[in-house]
Amino acid sequence: MKLKPIEYIGPAPVVKKPRNPAGGWFLIGFAAILAFFLARPFVQLVQAQQSQPNASNLEAASNQLDSLGTFGGKLAKAALKRTESQVVYDLTYRVIDFPNGDIPADRGKAEDVIVRAYRAVGTDLQRLINDDMSEHFREYPRYWGLTEPDPNIDHRRTPNLQRFFVRHGESLITSNSAQDYEFGDIVVWHLSENKPQQSSHIGVIVPGPGKLSEEKWIVHNNGSGPRWENELFSYNIIGHYRFVPESLLVEVEPELAPSL
């Protein structure tokens, strides 16, 4: 028996056209752009944290300074350590012990950052300045009307610290070039006040945080406690010193003792 062909009833078959590849690439590109803008704030936040003072960057800077093997590196590390302390800015005159005397640890001003950093590496500026002033009193500024040294306050005044560093340390170039400064150097600035005894400010040169580790930042207390800031050239520099003591005057932990 001969079979008859079956007649197809329905819509005519449609031949699919090949897809345009440009459309797929457009979607991929759009998704990539969207992801970039969504992720951008997060990336910026991470980058900012990598270049901001924080505990992680402080540890990295301390290791960097340890690797130098210099007294300046140890002093800069001690100054950075000060930024972990909560200190209320306090100009109050206080009667303190001598030698190795200090005001309460939660109080201080710019000079106390320097004094405490030097003490941490074995040097008592209170004693050194008092000894020098006792023998050479007329060599020191006379702003305060004193007739003899006062171990309670002499080492906590920037003009006295500055004169001591001039007499017993290296007086270095003052410039606006970071290359002229080394970690652990002491810098004195002139602020805007009119009175000479109140117009000077003092700090320590330290590395910048994170990716900025080759930059020259400072640790200082300009009213908000010890801070790690990029302010070396924010004020008029009037003094630049490097003081390496001849011997230790304070007992410190072995890992903090500098090799002189």
Cα separation, 92 vs 112, whole angstroms: 12
pLDDT, the chain, mean: 87
Cα separation, 171 vs 99, whole angstroms: 26
Residue 236: in which H helix or E strand, if any?
Answer: strand 236-242
pTM score, whole prediction:
0.79
**pLDDT computed for residue 191 by the predictor:** 87
Query: Does the pLDDT of residue 119 top 70, yes or no?
Result: yes
| 226 vs 7, higher pLDDT | 226
- Token pair in block for residue 35: 């992801």
Q: Report the alpha-carbon angle 149-161-254, nearest 5.
A: 105
DSSP string, 175-228: -S-GGG--TT-EEEEE-S-SSHHHHEEEEEEEEPSGGGTTSEEEEE-SSSSSEE
Looking up tokens 């560093």 gives 165
How far is residue 61 from each of residues 54, 68, 110, 217, 237, measured CA to CA in Å?
10, 11, 21, 11, 24
**For the purposes of burial, counting CB atoms within 10 Å of the CB of 138, is it exposed (0-12), middle (13-18) or buried (19 or more)?**
exposed
Tell me the torsion sign for CA atoms 213, 64, 79, 178. Answer: negative
* pLDDT tens-digit series, residues 87-116: 999 999 999 999 999 999 999 999 999 999
Task: Identify the band that residue 125 occupies on the pLDDT scale cut at 50, 70 and 90.
Answer: very high
* pLDDT tens-digit series, residues 72-82: 999 999 999 99
**pLDDT computed for residue 46 by the predictor:** 44
Dihedral, CA of residue 110, residue 154, residue 160 and residue 84, to nearest 10: -20
Cα separation, 108 vs 124, whole angstroms: 16
Cα separation, 116 vs 221, whole angstroms: 12
* pLDDT tens-digit series, residues 18-42: 666 656 666 676 665 765 556 454 4
Query: Does the pLDDT of residue 260 top 50, yes or no?
Result: no
